[in-house]
Chain A
Amino acid sequence: MDLLSQIGYGFLALVIVSSAAGMILSRNAVYSAVLLVINFISVAIIYLVLGAPFIALVQITVYAGSIMILFLFVIMLLGPDFLTGTEPIKGQRVLGISLGVVLAVEAGILLVGRGNLWALVPVFDGKGSSPEALGLVLFSQNPLIIIGISLILLVATVGAILLTRGDGSASHGNLEGKE
């Protein structure tokens, strides 16, 4: 692998990690959302490299395009948060960060330390991952996934509507009556 592509990969990894870190560290929710979008797009680029063009584009369209937009809508709806920076739960930060590090180390050891993970992923040669091929496999070998997906989407739609509908008194009364 030549130096250029290694630099490319390294840069990509850097962008992914820093946008992720930035997302959880940012005070402003909108900044977090935008950083997450950057993260998604970078991951989509990796998908492209790995030979899943369809998945890459679906990632951008669905994840970055719809889900994050939804997030931004809700952020706008709920307004800014006035939460203080101090952590009310004792020991949460220390314990959380340490456990996270421990988890990373453990996962690293488990995955990398065992097994032969130094094999090279082959470079995408442009064949075999077209939407046509994907669709063939999906509809002939995994019909249940399609059915599952449709059911989940149906339930989610109905649920979202029901949850936010309330009855007329609930949505009105709480904003005005119980002040």
Chain B
Amino acid sequence: MPLAFYVILSVIMFVIGILGVMLRRNPLVVFMSLEMMFNAANLLFVTFASYYHQLQGQIIVFFIMTVAAAEVAVGLAIMVAIFRTRHSIDLDQVSNLKG
């Protein structure tokens, strides 16, 4: 398949991820959309690693996955902590910095 196939696929996944971050109020879905964005980037890296016959791209993907895992862990921990005090998972209610 030509490179363009993978690139466009990656772009579509990325944009869908962004839309998810902006339009959903459930923070869990927001996090999942974040994962989608990471995924799109990973796809691009692997594509070009294969195209240029290098392994560098795959190593970076390795790194990104680890970072994503760590980030999810901490993010969900924050989510749980917030839920304990507010008893609601509406993202719009976390607006103490208004004004």
Chain A residues within CB distance 8 Å of chain B: 1, 6, 9, 13, 16-17, 20-21, 23-24, 29, 32-33, 36, 39-40, 43, 46-47, 50-52, 54-55, 58-59, 62-63, 66-67, 70-71, 74-75, 77-78, 81, 83, 87-89, 92-93, 96-97, 100-101, 103-104, 107-108, 111-112, 117-122, 124, 128-129, 133-134, 137-138, 142, 145, 148-149, 152-153, 155-157, 159-161, 163-164, 166, 170-171, 174-175
Size class of B's contact patch? 35 or more
12 contacting pairs across A/B (C-beta < 8 A): A9-B5, A39-B39, A50-B6, A52-B49, A70-B76, A71-B76, A83-B26, A117-B2, A134-B58, A155-B70, A161-B77, A166-B81
A118 touches B80 (CB 8 A): no
A77 touches B56 (CB 8 A): no
User: Which A residue's beta carbon lies closest to that of B72?
Assistant: A67
Give chain A nearest CB distance to B32 CB in angstroms: 5
Q: A63-B39, A117-B4 are in contact. List 10 more A-B contacts (CB 8 A).
A: A1-B1, A17-B13, A20-B16, A23-B16, A23-B29, A50-B50, A51-B50, A62-B69, A70-B76, A163-B81
Work out how many contacts link A and B, with CB atoms closer than 8 A: 226
Bound Cα distance A75, B79 (Å): 11
Bound Cα distance A70, B80 (Å): 12
Residues of B within 8 A of A120 (CB): 1-3
B32 touches A36 (CB 8 A): yes
**Chain B, 1-38, contact with A by CB distance < 8 Å: what is the 0/1 string?**
11111111101111111111011111011011101100
Bound Cα distance A83, B30 (Å): 14
Name A78's contact: one of B72, B74, B77, B83 (CB within 8 Å): B83
B78 in contact (CB, < 8 A)? yes
User: Which B residue's beta carbon lies closest to that of A179?
Assistant: B87
Bound Cα distance A9, B14 (Å): 19
Bound Cα distance A63, B61 (Å): 12
Bound Cα distance A66, B70 (Å): 11
Residues of B within 8 A of A112 (CB): 4, 7-8
User: Which A residue's beta carbon lies closest to that of B67?
Assistant: A152
A67 touches B35 (CB 8 A): yes
B68 touches A67 (CB 8 A): yes
> Which of A33, A66, A107 counts the most chain B CB atoms within 10 A?
A107
A103 touches B15 (CB 8 A): yes
Give chain A nearest CB distance to B35 CB in angstroms: 7
B80 touches A117 (CB 8 A): no
